[in-house]
Every structure is written in C-alpha cells, then in structure tokens.
Structure 1
Amino acid sequence: MQKKYRWSLVIFLVGIIITGIVYFTTAFSSQPIGEIITKPKDSLINKTEDSYQNKDELRQQTFKIRILNGKNKGKVFLVENEYAKSQVITQKYYSHQRVIVAFLKGKAKVLSPKRDWVFCLAFTVVVSLMFAIMGKSAKMLLLSLLLNAIIFYYVVKLDIATNGVKVLWIYSLASIIFTFLSLVLAQGFSKKMLVTFVATLLGVFVAFGLSYVIMKLTNESGMKYEAVEYATQDPRTIFLAQSLLGVLGAVMDEATDIVSSLYNLSRHKPNLTLKELVLSGRTLGQEIMGPLINVLVLIFMAEALPMAILYLRDNNTLKYTFEFALSLGIIQSLISAIGIVLTVVFATLCSTVFLREKRA
C-alpha cells in the first residue's frame, strides 16, 4: 500500500473515533444536551390549505428526554414539540436522537438536533480523500483552508465594526490576501506563483470593475437589492462583496490550471513559439470555460431552487419570482462568467514571461 493511502486510512479511522467522541460526549458543550429516550407520540393538530391549494399539516410530538449535562444532568423531562409536516422552519424528532435543550421556567424545550458530529464526519471524509488523492500536498492545502477561514472571520468582524461603510475596500484587500496566501501555500513562492497571482487579480478586478461600470451606466435598473437575505446593513454593498468573492473563487481555479499547464509546456517543448503558447492558452481556456460556467450556474440553481418553488407555489408570477428569488444570483453568475472569460486572456498573456525567461 502506498504511503498516501496509509495516511488516508489512518486519518479516516482517527476521524471516525473523534466523530464518535463528539457524538457521545457533552463535556465541550456550553448548552444543555438531551437524548430522546422514548418513541415520540405523533398526533395531528390541524390541516391547513391556503388559497393556492398548498396543503400542510401541523402536528405535535410528545416524548421524554434525559438531560446529559449541566445542573439538570440525569433528570427526565416530558417535552412537546409542534412541527409542520413540510418541516420548512420546524423540525421532527426521532427516538434516541441527541438534541440541544433550553429551560424556561423549569420546563425543557428542544431547540435543535445536535449536529456537530455530522460536521466532524463530513470533514473526516473530505480530508481522508484529499490525502488519498494528493498525498503530502494535502497538508499545505489544509493549512491554506485554515488560515483563510481565520482571515475571513476577522474580515467579517472588521466589516461589522465599520458598519459596512468600507465594504468594497475591506473585501478587495481580503481577496488579495486570500489569493496570495492560497497560491504561496499551494505552489511555493516562485515565478509561476507570481504569474498566477497577477493573472488572478487581473481577472477578478477587471471583471468586477467592468460589471460595476455597466451597473452604473444602467443606473442599476432592475437590481432588487431588497432580495438579499438577512441583510443587517446596506444590502447593495453586501451583494457587491458576494460578487467579488464569487469571482475570485472561479478565476483562481482557472488561472492556476492555465498557468501551470503553459509553464509545463514551455519547459518540455524547447522550440515553443509565442504564437503556439497563445494558441495553447486559448485552447485550454476553451476547454475549461464551459465546465466552470456550468458549475457556477448549477450551484446557483441548487441554492435558489427551494425559494423559487416557494414563490411559485404561492401563485407568484414567473417575472416576480425571477426578480426576487433568481435575479441577483444570475447577475453574480454572469459577473463570474465574465471573469472566467477574461482570465483566459490574462493567464495566457502573463504566461509569456516563461518564454522570455527560457530564452534569456
């Protein structure tokens, strides 16, 4: 067995053990944790049907839970839980499920399922697959993810502290830091890394700047910023920050692929001409652009599907549904698509530095 597969297997087994510990332990939880010890009795309260023939049921569960931590540890409480059969905003519970509990005037109330073990299991699977496929380089990728997550946390804190006044400046600087840190850890500090860095930033900021100019020239007509969910500050700036980070994710992937491929091509083909390099870059871009743009659209469709169904089931028109559930997401996808197309040009042009270096 190859070393990377041994590492992957070890990580998977350790992760499973940690997942089991997280599931059963309550020592690290600041909230009361309970376990449903009886089979929930489920009864119908009433049936509902609105004017658009949307049907639902309001149901009530009754079950006992045993508290596993805190000052009420070991005590058993009888709990009632009302939920809608559609489970859009309410939750149905099952026997032996572990739940987060709150106490109000001595009565227990179930808040939500205990889901931290699910995150541990998913993280275990991802990391073990990364090591099985990438080997040692997975270590740097994980370090990059960790550092980017920490930086993103403080970027959001800074955004909150400034109350959204300097959102574009904050997230523009964050994009530069994310790009530099990710590329340095993945490729090391080299000329290839710098070329990828420049191509990525050109693709991100030219695409975003071009889109911003178009929005200004059209007076942002048809932009339904009020459709931004859970916006606690100016929704317009939140949308622009989302768009900027979205472009970065797509462009960095493409720029890395094109620059790395052209770098290897220039090293293995001594007589490569500038015209051949440019044609190779264009061919690579044509192969990459389609799948990347389709991935963006599919991700957006998957995210917007539940809300679009709710709008349509409430007898809203397709135009209204598009404006308030789909339009902003489609605009973000278009901005990212512009960045993907432009990055083919920037990555190819930046890669010509490899030819000059070889000739020198």
Structure 2
Amino acid sequence: MVFIKDKKGFLLRCVPCAVIVLGLIFLGLWLGRPTGEVATAASRLVYVPARVETVISDNAEADNEHYEGQRLGDQELEIRILSGEHKGEILPLTNYMGALFNVDVREGDRIVVRLQTEDDGSYYASMYNYDRGMVVGLMLLLFAAVLIALGGKKGARALAGLVITLACIWFLLIPGLIRGIPALPYTVLLVAVVAAACLILLNGFSAKTFCSAAGCIAGVAAAALTAWIVGKLAPIDGFNMEEAEDMLLHGTELGLRIRGLLVCGVLVSSLGAVMDVAMSIASAIWELRESSDRLTVKELFRSGMQIGRDAMGTMANTLILAFAGSSLNMLIMAQIYDIPLMQLVNTDSICIEVIQSIAGSLGILLTVPLTAAASARYMKRKSSAENT
C-alpha cells in the first residue's frame, strides 16, 4: 500500500512537470532556430582558456599612493592555449595593467584570452581576464551539496527547480524578448509556468501547490502592475535603463522591444521571494486545516495573515536590500559628488532601482493576503467536500 501511495505521489509530481518541461523545450527549440544573420567582427573573436608558461618581462610596479597597492605597467608573456582549434600552441601576449583593468599573473596561472582572426587567416591573442570558471564551478557544487545535504529530497527537488528556472530565463525568456515577442504578456506567462513547475516539483500536484501557485502568480502580477502604473505616472520605462543605448544599436534590428523591459525585470526579480512567501502561507494553512476541521474560512485566513505578518518585514527587506546592494557604488558616488536630493531622486538609474525594489516588495506584501484568502477558501471547501 505504501508503494502505491509513493507511486501515486511520484506520478502527481513528475507527470505535470514532464509535460511542462517538454512544452518549454519545444518552445526553446523554436526560439533558438537560426535567424540567418550575417557574420560580424565579434563572430571572429574566440575566448579560450590559457596558461601562463613564461613571464618574459615584468615592468609593473605597485602604486601605494593612489591605487591601494595595485600594480600598474605591463608584462610580456608566453601563453599556452588549453582548448579549441589552437590547443597546445604557444603564443606571445602583452598584458597591460591599469587601475581598473588589472590581471596580474605569474607563471602557471590560468587566464582567459581573446583570439582574434584577421581576414588573411592570421590570429593573435590578447588578455581578457582571470580564468574563474573553476572557482565558480566549485561554488555551484558547494551550494548544490549543502542544499541536498540539508534539504534531502526536498533540496534535490529545489535544485532541479532552480535549474529549470535558469534554463527558462536563458533559453526562453531572453530569446523570446530578442525576437520581439510582446514583453509583458510573455514574461507573465513564463513566470506563471516556471512558478507552477517549481511548486509542483516540490510538493506534487495538490491543493497546497495550487493555492501557493495562485498566490505567487497574483503577487508577481501585483508587483508588475505597480511597476507599470508608476512607470506611466513617472514616466519611466525600458528606454531609461542603462543598457538601452546598446540594445537600440544591436537589439532592435532583431525585433527587440525595449519599452516593457523594466516591468519584465520586476517580474523576474520578485518571483523567488514571492514564491517563498506563497508556499509558506499555503503550507501553514494546510497544516492548520489538517489539525482541525472545525476552523472556519475566516479563522484560517486570520491565521494565515498572522503567520504572513512575521515574514513581511524580512522578505520586504530582502528585495530592497538586494537592490540597494546592487546600487551601492552608485550611491557612494552620489555622496562623493554631493548630488542634491532633487537631482538624485530624478536620476533615471535611481528611480528605476526604487521602482523595482518597492514594486517587488509590494508584490511580497500583497502575496500574503492573496495566498491566505485563496488557501483558506479552497482548502475549507475541499475539507467540506471530503466530509460529505
């Protein structure tokens, strides 16, 4: 009997997720089809890992007076290409080091270099950066190991959900936006599908999952609506974002629509925190309903709100502090230049950060009553149906 129950739970969790993932894969294949663009200069650039074989000369000196000990100058190197068409070849490279672009290397260090091929077939290497792939990979493995070790099966499912989310952003959201699919409805639809897939993967196809997904989608939609309204009133949109000029130069010819990208950013950035709150509220009301069938819809809702209030402050701070952290350098420069408050508040970049953080936080706050109301009503109705 236990085997049958586990099998049923497995099917309820995996079958809907498999259907969703297959649908997303087909959409990704359609979005990833060749577009027939002509080759550009960038397509003749190849980034490959390399190892410093010899430091022929080192003319760099530490500047302790102005740049906190950064070594400035240049190095003449011999490097060995470690992968790609030119694997094993040894090439000369001049490494120029300034205060900002500063890749200070020694023999044996791993770096990433640019190989540029000229029209006559010749090629040369230039310094790009340190090879940080191994460090980043180890960090990802550590994160996955800790998540699975502490979370067990739930942790493994959460990791799978994270992979699905990142894959949807890279292979579906971004290609779709570049191809000119209307940004707002497309992002809302994709966010809803991702939320449903992740929640089903965690808890199976159940009433708790349905209520948390409904609350999550409603909360994210509330955040997007807030950002859209404020953007209309401000007015401010995707054309005011820092990367707008580059997107105008290189993206619009492919079909990219820039105006709605600000709201899309709010949708994506608030999804994780909103999903967390929605699942917490739905799970709490589910446990209350399981412990006592006598609780009314109003009592379940009140209990959900009480639990949600404890999470509101910390989760709202999460988004605001995240956006503040990402804008820390800009805020430092604002104080260094003693920018007046009137100018600061009306700066595009500051206004965008404020809109994104406040809209996302409002989405979290509204998720609590929306999820509590949906969970209380649906689960009480389900309980009444089971008792009849």
TM-score, normalisation: structure 1:
0.78
**Counterpart mapping for 1:1-360 below 5 A:** 31-38=47-54, 41-43=58-60, 58-69=72-83, 73-85=87-99, 87=100, 89-103=101-115, 107-152=124-169, 153-162=171-180, 166-216=182-232, 218=233, 220-221=234-235, 225-229=239-243, 232-233=247-248, 234-310=257-333, 312-313=335-336, 316-317=339-340, 319-322=342-345, 323-352=347-376, 353-360=378-385
Structure 2 distance, partners of 1:272, 1:71, is 69
User: Contact between 2:237 and 2:259, CA under 8 Å: does it hold in 1?
Assistant: no
Q: Which has the higher mean CA deviation after the structures are superposed, 108-117 or 303-312?
A: 303-312
Aligned to 2:13: none
SS in 2 for 1:92: coil
Structure 2 distance, partners of 1:108, 1:303, is 33
- Structure 1 residues 55-82: Cα deviation after superposition (integer angstroms, max 9, x where no partner): x985323333233345655554443222
Structure 2 distance, partners of 1:70, 1:156, is 27
SS in 2 for 1:61: strand
Structure 1 distance, partners of 2:355, 2:343, is 16
Structure 2 distance, partners of 1:227, 1:58, is 33
CA-based RMSD: 3.2
State the one-letter code of the partner of 1:303.
S
Q: Measure how far apart 1:310 and its partner are.
A: 4.3
Note closer, same or farther for the CA distance 1:311–1:207 as it changes in structure 2 (3 Å cut): closer
Q: Which runs of 4+ in 1 moved over 6 A?
A: 45-49
Structure 2 distance, partners of 1:44, 1:314, is 30
Note closer, same or farther for the CA distance 1:135–1:71 as it changes in structure 2 (3 Å cut): closer
- How many matched pairs? 322
- Structure 1 residues 269-304: Cα deviation after superposition (integer angstroms, max 9, x where no partner): 343233332221111111001000111111111111
Note closer, same or farther for the CA distance 1:241–1:320 as it changes in structure 2 (3 Å cut): same
Note closer, same or farther for the CA distance 1:171–1:63 as it changes in structure 2 (3 Å cut): same
Q: Measure how far apart 1:147 and its partner are.
A: 2.4
User: Contact between 1:45 and 1:60, CA under 8 Å: does it hold in 2?
Assistant: no
User: Contact between 2:220 and 2:363, CA under 8 Å: does it hold in 1?
Assistant: yes
SS in 1 for 2:78: strand
Aligned to 1:18: none
Note closer, same or farther for the CA distance 1:37–1:319 as it changes in structure 2 (3 Å cut): farther
Structure 1 runs not aligned, ≥5 long:
1-29, 50-55
SS in 1 for 2:363: helix
- Structure 1 residues 118-144: Cα deviation after superposition (integer angstroms, max 9, x where no partner): 221011101110111111223322222
Structure 1 distance, partners of 2:228, 2:294, is 42
- Structure 1 residues 225-283: Cα deviation after superposition (integer angstroms, max 9, x where no partner): 42433651554321111012223222211111001011011111343233332221111
Structure 1 distance, partners of 2:226, 2:323, is 22
Q: Which has the higher mean CA deviation after the structures are superposed, 145-154 or 68-77?
A: 68-77
User: Contact between 1:254 and 1:343, CA under 8 Å: does it hold in 2?
Assistant: yes
- Structure 1 residues 201-229: Cα deviation after superposition (integer angstroms, max 9, x where no partner): 2222234224423443x2x2466942433
State the one-letter code of the partner of 2:114.
A
Structure 1 distance, partners of 2:268, 2:48, is 37
Structure 2 distance, partners of 1:76, 1:112, is 18
Q: Measure how far apart 1:33 and its partner are.
A: 3.0
SS in 1 for 2:94: strand
Structure 1 distance, partners of 2:238, 2:86, is 49
Structure 2 runs not aligned, ≥5 long:
1-45, 117-121, 249-256
Q: Which has the higher mean CA deviation after the structures are superposed, 58-67 or 179-188?
A: 58-67
SS in 1 for 2:73: strand
Structure 2 distance, partners of 1:115, 1:45, is 24
